[in-house]
Structure 1
């Protein structure tokens, strides 16, 4: 069942009127005769949560790898904020303001929550090595600013009680929250969420859904999300693109997707169909 609050409805109207911050145009990506992406096109607006769904092997992860600079497609164009992303290395794309979380947690388990979050601030350390060692001038001011930014993320994601714990000792759902916080620490302009609730129990999933909505509605941050949990996607996304064998078969609002007969049969199941009221 699709749940759309008044706030979400107003937000959807706003995002549809916005100028796209990301353009993914007619992208073709293949590996040794296997086509991973076949003419994929979509846009993402400022403050929009755009979800990509589909079965394993549909091309979802390939989209993220193109956006992150891991793969370079054979054809197409990808532009973010007016910048051409194709041909740029991952660290250069990250500096443009694109941050990514991963399906499998990639944190330093022996470091504390605070230290892991500070790693997300590495783009915000412009001072030289000598200044850092000497703890002088701009290095000291930058360190204090970075610490303040990290503490704000700790508050935002409700991590205060775990802030000084090694990440490896924390519950799985909290670790996923720390990974999200590390991405936010880079102050991104676009956030890529790769199965953000994979492996979570119901309570952890509800917490993560709340934080994702807060990121969109309070921070106005555009997001692209890949997720297999259809209930979450239907409740959170402004628009959804359904992938199959490397091609989009439907792009639209959750209601559009949920009422498409082909999508319902292939991916959602009849129980997700939205029934129009008379």
Structure 2
């Protein structure tokens, strides 16, 4: 597995001075970074460092007390999660959030709900715009299924999918949203070595085929260092290093805090 590049492209996402407090506890303390179009940007840190809090601020689950988040010049902070999804931000979850009794195809179609514009009546009758949107959505979902090689599981209930396939389906549902930015929350958590290698391959393939910007939160340092263009390291809600994987890997604070004192 190899990274795609090291030079930061023109920013798509800008996070500036993000501060999030719960009572007297700073979950995030003045966090700033940018993510370029097509870039894979990784965030590392131990449990409680603030990684998931960054995701929750970006997609509107949390509202920070200070700072700003902009996507291609449009402010995201203060917006509702549905509005942020409409602007092109998708997310996967560490704990699989698929509907277990629903087929893989229908789970992916649910990811396109925000793109549907037809009303209840036309949807019930399946005519006009509703029919066109359904057919267009099905075609888009089939393209994602082909990209992530999920064809054998197309009609299988999500609750019966093997764990590694279910994690891949999480990514597929995010891609079905037709996003500009994807937040990957520990995509290989709980996977064995073979499943991790497969997921890394699919992430690389998605970048090559779709050119999406991605933010990766992950504890697997080998995956992070192999795939990321740039890495941000957090410690107790504060940024202690930002740079290329090699730069961050050599940073003494990162070596001490995350790599057990050995580069």
Is TM more than 0.5 here? yes
Which of 146, 168, 177 is equivalent to 1:155? 146
Aligned to 2:234: 243
RMSD: 1.2
2:138, 2:2 → 1: CA distance?
A: 37
Aligned pair 1:104/2:98, yes or no?
A: no
2:257, 2:150 → 1: CA distance?
A: 39
1:257, 1:217 → 2: CA distance?
A: 25
Q: CA deviation at 1:4?
A: 4.1
CA distances 1:119-177 after superposition (whole Å, capped 9, x unpaired): 11101211111111222112111111111001111100100011111111111000011
SS of residue in 1 equivalent to 2:15: strand
Gaps of 5+ in 1: 274-278
Aligned pair 1:77/2:71, yes or no?
A: no
Q: CA deviation at 1:233?
A: 0.3
Taking the TM superposition and a 5 Å limit, the aligned residue runs for 1:35-46 are 35-46=26-37
Counting matched residue pairs gives: 263
Aligned pair 1:187/2:181, yes or no?
A: no
Aligned to 1:276: none
Aligned pair 1:95/2:86, yes or no?
A: yes
Runs of 4+ in 1 over 6 A off after TM superposition: none
Gaps of 5+ in 2: none
Aligned pair 1:254/2:245, yes or no?
A: yes
TM-score by length of 1: 0.92
SS of residue in 1 equivalent to 2:12: strand
Which of 191, 196, 204 is equivalent to 2:195? 204
Equivalent residues of 1:47, 1:217 under 8 A apart: no
SS of residue in 1 equivalent to 2:178: coil
1:124, 1:259 → 2: CA distance?
A: 44
Equivalent residues of 2:45, 2:235 under 8 A apart: yes
Aligned pair 1:226/2:217, yes or no?
A: yes
Aligned to 2:6: 12
1:124, 1:72 → 2: CA distance?
A: 25
1:183, 1:117 → 2: CA distance?
A: 8
TM-score by length of 2: 0.97
2:172, 2:204 → 1: CA distance?
A: 14
SS of residue in 2 equivalent to 1:12: coil
1:4, 1:208 → 2: CA distance?
A: 13
